[in-house]
């Protein structure tokens, strides 16, 4: 059976190179009894590949079962897989066959294999090597002929390094590896998938299929899709039910795309990079502390320069060299204490108003330490600077346009 027939049969949409290669490997290995390890992020469709392998194999008329190892409690997973004898543990009122017994002659798909306990891993390794297993609470060795296909969204090599996964089991399962690409690595397939899902949901809900304008299409293509195909399908269903018009705009679409940026705070674009690599902060508080520290340091420097200027008028030229970032200039200016103009007498000495206190370069400046106020203030100033253009403002702040949109709603900022 050729690849296009497989795509049509199992509803696989897309023709990206990574997806095509994964399908080729699945088709070639299907008619063997080799163990297969399918890797890929959550939501990419790993179970579909296991079904393809089973349906093209000599076992296709025998049972197929999918088991989520992460969804079975550690205390019962041995019983689920290998069965148990009556009275072998509390609650075992009857004997029970396990999956390896009921699926004998067929295929068992072990999803989230990385979540399997180490003790169960040892039992599984014995099944793969000898075809033998023992029920919980029994001493009788039983035989089984089951093909094992495993899947994981974890880095099993890292799990091996941390002692969470058996190295011998990994190499036994990984006889033939299949890597299913993430949706963000299949950009050419995103719009095709959305159209397919939209048409399916339109037929289900008896409504016209939703369509995307060009801006919305670009937003879909450039989104990171942490939930992959599953997330895209869910979003298409939401739009099919909740969208008010036939054509979806980027402004409406952004409401259905969760923000996955590392930080919720705007960061100055010029200060977030060092030698082309963006500096990563541990959390939002660290960013604000750095911002306040820089502001206070610059305020102190300005006060020192003003004090020197009063003592020596020639030093006023030094103030021309004081530069700030575009967005932050107004913040610095608003933070400075107000000063009265200096009056110089005929003797070259200066004097102040009799109601004015002497300048004290150690004077504390009362500053607002509210994170939300500082964040809101930066956003307002960036919008004013760019005359309400969100794209330019978000670029200057170092955040995505989607994050800026959410912040405008959160702080009730009217542009």
Summarize pLDDT for 38-61 with one digit per residue, the tens. Answer: 999 999 999 999 999 999 999 999
**Under 8 Å between Cβ of 202 and 208:** yes
Give residue-wise pLDDT tens across range 268-295: 444 343 333 343 444 455 555 556 666 7
> Which residues pair with residue 391 across a beta bridge?
none
Residue 78 pLDDT level (bands cut at 50, 70, 90): very high
**How far is it, in rounded angstroms, from Cα 121 to Cα 129?**
12
- What pLDDT was estimated at residue 117? 95
| Mean pLDDT rounded to a whole number for the chain | 80
If one compares 163 and 375, the residue with the highest pLDDT of the two is 163
- What pLDDT was estimated at residue 80? 93
- What pLDDT was estimated at residue 92? 77
In the chain the first and final C-alpha atoms are separated, in Å, by 59
Residue 329 pLDDT level (bands cut at 50, 70, 90): very low
Domains identified in the chain and CATH numbers: 3-181 (3.40.50.300), 184-256 (1.10.8.60), 262-340+364-415 (no CATH)
If one compares 243 and 156, the residue with the highest pLDDT of the two is 156
Q: What does the pLDDT average to over 256-260?
A: 77
Q: Which residues contact 99 (CB under 8 A, 6 or more apart)?
A: 65, 67, 80, 81, 108
Q: Which residues contact 43 (CB under 8 A, 6 or more apart)?
A: 183, 227, 228, 229, 230, 231
User: Range with the lowest mean pLDDT among 24-28, 167-171, 239-243, 295-299?
Assistant: 295-299
**Under 8 Å between Cβ of 150 and 169:** no
Task: Answer yes or no: is pLDDT of 320 > 90.
Answer: no
- What pLDDT was estimated at residue 16? 93
Give residue-wise pLDDT tens across range 360-398: 444 444 445 567 777 888 888 888 888 888 888 888 887
- What pLDDT was estimated at residue 263? 39
**Under 8 Å between Cβ of 371 and 239:** no
- What pLDDT was estimated at residue 192? 94
- What pLDDT was estimated at residue 215? 94
């Amino acid at each position: 059976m050729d690849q296009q027939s497989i795509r049509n049969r199992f509803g696989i949409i897309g023709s990206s190179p990574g997806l095509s290669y994964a399908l080729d490997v699945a088709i070639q290995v299907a008619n063997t009894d080799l163990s297969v390890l399918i890797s890929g992020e959550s939501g990419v469709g790993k179970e579909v590949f296991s079904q393809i392998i089973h349906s093209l194999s000599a076992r296709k008329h025998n049972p197929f079962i999918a088991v989520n190892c992460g969804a079975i409690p550690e205390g019962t997973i041995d019983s689920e897989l290998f069965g148990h004898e009556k009275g072998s543990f509390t609650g075992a009122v009857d004997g029970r066959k396990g999956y390896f017994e009921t699926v004998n002659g067929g295929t068992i798909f072990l999803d989230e294999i990385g979540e399997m306990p180490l003790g169960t891993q040892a039992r599984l390794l014995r099944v793969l090597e000898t075809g033998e297993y023992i029920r919980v609470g029994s001493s009788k060795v039983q035989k089984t002929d089951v093909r094992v296909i495993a899947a994981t969204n974890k880095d099993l090599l890292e799990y091996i390094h941390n002692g969470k996964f058996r190295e011998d089991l990994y190499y036994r399962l990984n006889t033939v590896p299949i890597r299913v690409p993430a949706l963000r690595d299949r950009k050419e397939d995103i719009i095709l998938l959305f159209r397919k899902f939209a048409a399916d949901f339109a037929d289900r809900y008896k409504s016209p299929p939703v369509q995307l304008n060009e801006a919305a299409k670009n937003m879909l293509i450039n989104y990171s899709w942490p939930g992959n195909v599953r997330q895209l399908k869910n979003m298409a269903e939401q739009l099919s039910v909740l969208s008010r018009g036939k054509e979806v705009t980027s402004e409406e679409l952004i409401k259905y795309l969760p923000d996955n940026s590392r930080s919720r705070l705007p960061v100055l674009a010029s200060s977030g990079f060092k030698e082309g690599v963006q500096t990563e902060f541990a959390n939002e508080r660290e960013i604000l502390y750095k911002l306040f520290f820089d502001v206070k340091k610059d305020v102190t420097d300005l006060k020192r320069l003003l004090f020197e200027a009063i003592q020596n008028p020639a030093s006023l030229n030094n103030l021309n060299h004081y530069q700030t970032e575009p967005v932050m200039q107004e913040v610095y200016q608003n933070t400075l204490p107000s000063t009265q103009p200096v009056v110089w007498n005929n003797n070259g000495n200066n004097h102040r108003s009799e109601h004015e206190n002497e300048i004290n370069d150690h004077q504390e400046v009362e500053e607002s330490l509210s994170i939300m106020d500082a964040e809101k203030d930066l956003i307002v100033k960036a919008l004013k600077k760019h005359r309400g253009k969100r794209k330019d403002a978000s670029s200057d702040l170092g955040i995505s346009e989607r994050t800026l949109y959410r912040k405008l709603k959160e702080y009730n900022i009217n542009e």
